[in-house]
Structure 1
């Protein structure tokens, strides 16, 4: 029996570039940076003092004030992005379809801000000052949980927490649930909000963050460049509405792209570093190609994980060359973290949104700050800016701590 076709009928985002996906996309293809000095807290004593913050976000504009106070920032992002998503898709959840709509969301660290706030109160004033909402605010599954409460979606409600691969694993899980016939639609993607004192301190201690460009934040995220010195932490949300083609056609929905393949793998190697030969990344891309039933030569575009770390960028470059052989040089590769920073658990969500829009608009985003490529990073990274290119298939990669890897493949929609 043939499996159902799954299409993307809605997109939304809150990003360091803008608080809506339309403006984010325009700034992205224009090659603008959303990075700047950290303003969420006093970071003067930190080695890394730059981030990709979501700016001018007022949760009370979209969430009743009492409810907003009982949410961590990551959950506020999730609810706001979900409301934008439903409007973009013109999708309504009713008594008739509520059980057929799932919410499956990637979240990396959850309510880190809440943990820090209430730990300080506990130490300063004792346990009586800890809010009864502490646990519901900090747990990762409150992102999809609150989305369900606001939208009425009563299908499977799941959070995937696999570090920086969380969102694509969430998308892949939602895709699998639809393929199995358990649901006909899913709100999916990723969300994260960890630009906090402890979050930045922890990543800095790992020597993972950029520290050389504090005085020039827009230049700090430099995927594949020889002067890259770590990633720039970001925050935000990127959501997609997945739907069976039959459902989308029945309601006359706009279709951005078709989701045709998903792969997962693990390096089984190191807590934070990838295998230098990229073998786990090789497996995950081949798994996605096999799931889609495609030859490597079918892929015309890749939105790379490309965090701007020394080992990660080199390993991904090697993996692409191994998977795609001589075709690798023909693939147009975007490293959009050069403009947004690394949104951690949300990164695959917003980058999947970018990949869908790249196919839909036939416009592939460029990679900024690639001034002098690392000699070991020798593919076409669109360093000269965005290109108007029509391609049929595109891949989006995410690789996380613990060696966890995820890839999806999208197909340009043609009716």
Structure 2
């Protein structure tokens, strides 16, 4: 019999808040984290906006030396993971001289049964850029000896495991903008398969640099500020959407076997009832025009959860605000839900946070879990005129709901699709 997986903690570091509750409050209030790019000139770029984390203190859990070595993605990820573990009652770092061993009494769960998939799609882009420039200007001997570990995609999972002495499965899962959601799905699979009792999972990104903005912009994927207002740029499903807004941040969830949570006396926030993972098998950057791969992911998630389309009471979509992406996603969802899709509350987190790339799925899965906990869904903003192609119940202001199950979907460059069904705890 399949083990039941529950969510016992969530954590977030986003442009709207340095923790889960402040981010959740801002989303419910319909606030935007999008602003003009300040770190580099944008006059020759196709986009002038981004959604950035401001005034985050990396030295809260990193030494001065570590804060200089690692890129922005590391403190965001660590902050989200530590918050999620604290909420789950598992924030018990090991002593500096402690040698990790199976068993022990410091943690309420055997550390050899705890793993970590805190993933990133692009890693420390800022450090990579910094060290390449240093080599070009001063020669190869100027490159930091910490360059390679700092830019490894698995650095965050490694640092979380090292901080706590976790000895379960630990690595990075990279699937572009589906990274965080795939990490949740694969972490769930690890617990269901008996490979772990607890998994710290999620996604993170901090890649808003001149060259990444140039690359996405030249691919015609990014939007520009509207009427001089950056907050209006991200507008999923709106008739005048022109592209996504690059964002940064991290979202983490602590997944746990239900019997482990019950044994510890921890009240779950939500359940991970099912997941589906597929590929389009068609194009490197463009989604399948009919959304076939994403549809299959949703159908598999529902089947794994043992529910039908009629049981889903809320959808947190991928909804990037690109012309083709929103159309393909709508096609996939309409194939699954039919005309009932027009009656299911839908709200796009990216309308306020922008697109956190590899971090998006982690944050949005955590947001969906909080929606189930509080029986509230946040609004979508900037939908002045719903595109005629869509018949949707797009939530315009915070709404009280009666949710048993919610759907979270993500898609990434490369044709990677992932769907999660979360349930009320």
Q: Distance in 1 between matches of 2:82 and 2:179?
A: 21
Deviations 1:336-359 (A, max 9, x none): 100000000010000001100001
2:397 matched to 1:385?
Answer: yes
Q: 1:224 aligns with which of 237, 242, 257?
A: 237
Q: CA deviation at 1:214?
A: 7.6
Aligned to 1:368: 381
Moved >6 Å (runs of 4+): none
Aligned to 1:398: 410
Aligned to 1:40: 39
Please give the TM-score of this superposition, normalised by the length of structure 2: 0.94
2:110 matched to 1:111?
Answer: no
Q: CA deviation at 1:78?
A: 1.3
Q: CA deviation at 1:70?
A: 2.0
Q: Distance in 2 between matches of 1:378 and 1:343?
A: 26
Q: CA deviation at 1:120?
A: 0.6
2:301 matched to 1:302?
Answer: no
In structure 2, runs of 5+ residues without a counterpart are 95-102, 105-109
The 10-residue stretch of structure 1 (18-27 or 36-45) with the greater mean CA deviation from structure 2: 36-45
2:199 matched to 1:200?
Answer: no
Q: Distance in 2 between matches of 1:13 and 1:342?
A: 15
Q: Distance in 1 between matches of 2:120 and 2:163?
A: 18
Q: CA deviation at 1:92?
A: 4.6
Please give the TM-score of this superposition, normalised by the length of structure 1: 0.97
Q: What secondary structure is seen at the aligned counterpart in 1 of 2:78?
A: helix
Aligned to 1:352: 365
Q: Cα RMSD (Å) of the superposition?
A: 1.2
Aligned to 2:140: 127
Q: Distance in 2 between matches of 1:228 and 1:371?
A: 10
2:7 matched to 1:8?
Answer: yes
Q: CA deviation at 1:255?
A: 1.0
Aligned to 2:300: 287
Aligned to 1:161: 174
Aligned length: 411
2:419 matched to 1:407?
Answer: yes
2:324 matched to 1:311?
Answer: yes
Q: Distance in 2 between matches of 1:48 and 1:33?
A: 17
Deviations 1:50-74 (A, max 9, x none): 1110111120122221222221211
In structure 1, runs of 5+ residues without a counterpart are none
Q: Distance in 2 between matches of 1:82 and 1:211?
A: 32
